[in-house]
Amino acid sequence: MKSSWIAERMQTMPSSGIRKIFELGQQLKNPVNLSIGQPHFDVPEPIKSAAIEAIRNGNNGYTVTSGIAELREKLKKQTCDRLKERDRDLIITSGTSGALTVTILATINPGDEVLVLDPYFVSYPHLISIAGGIPIFVNTYPSFEIQIDQIESKINLKTKAILFASPANPTGSCISKDQLMQLGELARKHQLILISDEIYRHFVYDQPFHSVAEFYPETIVVDGFGKSYGVTGWRLGYVHGPTEIIQEIAKIQQYTFVCAPSISQFGAIAALDYDTSSIVRDYRSKRDRLIDALKDHYELTIPGGAFYLFPKAPQGDAEKFCLQAIKHELLIIPGASFSQQNTHFRVSFAAKDEVLERGIDILIRLASFK
């Protein structure tokens, strides 16, 4: 193979640090896996049954690009009722990653700058770069709270959008209602696109969930089913926003993913009627157990949502610390996978209680690592 066959963009795109940890973990006989952002619970039976019935009924072919009508209308009604607005369209996508991909490709031009809150989900800067955009990082350490003045200081004539998640991966931080209102005002002042990743909105523990779209209706919201219902492998997400933008996003989907998986869409209709409150209570309990056990051993912030903790590594070298953890059969993710810094590490508490307890024991032993 000739090296010239490889696109230049690949020279600046490293392999995922998360995948590297997975590969190292394959060498372990009985690993304590607190690395993966995969809900540990099984898919609820009504959702399984709906997908199985769809297969048996022959619903195995393509759907229309925007998604089957019953799912779209049900989801659109729930979304509009929650946001108290009507002028909002919606498209079903191939996972939340697919939703982010088509959204960025439909909105970002080569040379456009996109502000990204650091830490960030691993794919954000690379998806921006694929579209020819330039990610500009806004540091939120050590509290992981946003500072509107700091964000505004990064805005210039090339700035097109702000991309963020709340609750966030990897920090679990939630942007407050007041801060979301200020962020909406900032976007309106500078005529910016807000792209809000709300895949973890069901997992909020200490306050009601609020979307920035409540205050800035022009916001493009990315959401999905994988985390809330344990169907990450079903690859089902959606995007909602102003009709004009959603129509353009649909064009990109036509020529890329074509449509979201049909069987997953039929299962999702049942998912929208499933009460996840008991799952959320269980995850809040896991969070509290993890915080109580580690707060005297690590510098950390309490995550208000999602299912991650993002402590500071002893001695401030997260990669070195995570490699040491692997020697103790613990899999965690160094912060450099999600950040321009390598000072923190991500722990997922989406695990069975016995696995979480084993992980806590190892982390306490590792707290004095030098």
> Do residues 223 and 73 lie in contact, with contact meaning Cβ atoms separated by under 8 Å?
no
Q: Mind listing the pLDDT tens digit for each residue in 157-200?
A: 999 999 999 999 999 999 999 999 999 999 999 999 999 999 99
Distance CA 79, CA 90 (A): 9
- Beta carbons within 8 Å of 340's beta carbon, 6+ residues apart: 118, 137, 139
pLDDT digits (tens, 9 = 90+) for 112-123: 999 999 999 999
CB 179 within 8 Å of CB 211: no
Residues 126 and 170 in one domain: yes
Does 255 share its domain with 209?
A: yes
The total number of structural domains in the chain stands at 2
- Do 101 and 230 have their domain in common? yes
Q: What pLDDT, on a 0 to 100 scale, did the predictor assign at position 4? A: 77
Selected residue with higher pLDDT from 209 and 15: 209
Q: What is the pLDDT of residue 14?
A: 75
For 346, the domain range is 3-43+276-366
103 plus 231 within the same structural domain: yes
Say if residue 220 is in the same domain as residue 325: no
- Which CATH number characterizes residue 159's domain? 3.40.640.10
Give the pLDDT confidence score for residue 87 in this predicted structure: 77
Which of the 8 DSSP states describes residue 11? G
Q: Are residues 59 and 93 in the same domain?
A: yes
Helix (H) or strand (E) holding 334: strand 333-334
Per-residue pLDDT at 18: 66
- Quote the CA–CA distance of 68 and 62 in Å, as a whole number: 10
177 and 33 together in one domain: no
Residues 89 and 237 in one domain: yes
Residues 239 and 123 in one domain: yes
Last residue of a domain, one of 271, 295, 320: 271
What is the CATH classification number for the domain harbouring 293? Answer: 3.90.1150.10
Residues 98 and 86 in one domain: yes
Mean pLDDT of the chain: 94
Q: What is the pLDDT of residue 158?
A: 98
The percentage of the chain sitting over the pLDDT mark of 90, rounded to a whole number, equals 88
Average pLDDT for residues 122-150, to the nearest whole number? 97
Q: What is the pLDDT of residues 224-247, one digit of tens each?
A: 999 999 999 999 999 999 999 999
Residues 109 and 12 in one domain: no
Q: Give yes or no: residues 96 and 20 share one domain.
A: no
Q: What number is the average pLDDT over the span 64-78?
A: 96
Q: What is the mean pLDDT of residues 332-342?
A: 95
Give the domain-ending residue among 244, 271, 298. 271
pLDDT digits (tens, 9 = 90+) for 274-295: 999 999 999 999 999 999 999 9
pLDDT over 60 (residue 370):
no
**Cα–Cα dist 262/62, whole Å:** 6
Share of the chain above pLDDT 70, in %: 96
Domain boundary among 271, 297, 329: 271
Instruction: Indicate the pLDDT class of residue 61, thresholds 50, 70 and 90.
Output: very high
Query: In this structure, are residues 144 and 165 in contact, taking their beta carbons and an 8 Å threshold?
Result: no
**Sign of the C-alpha dihedral computed for residues 41, 44, 50 and 52 taken in this order:** positive
pLDDT for 279 equals 96
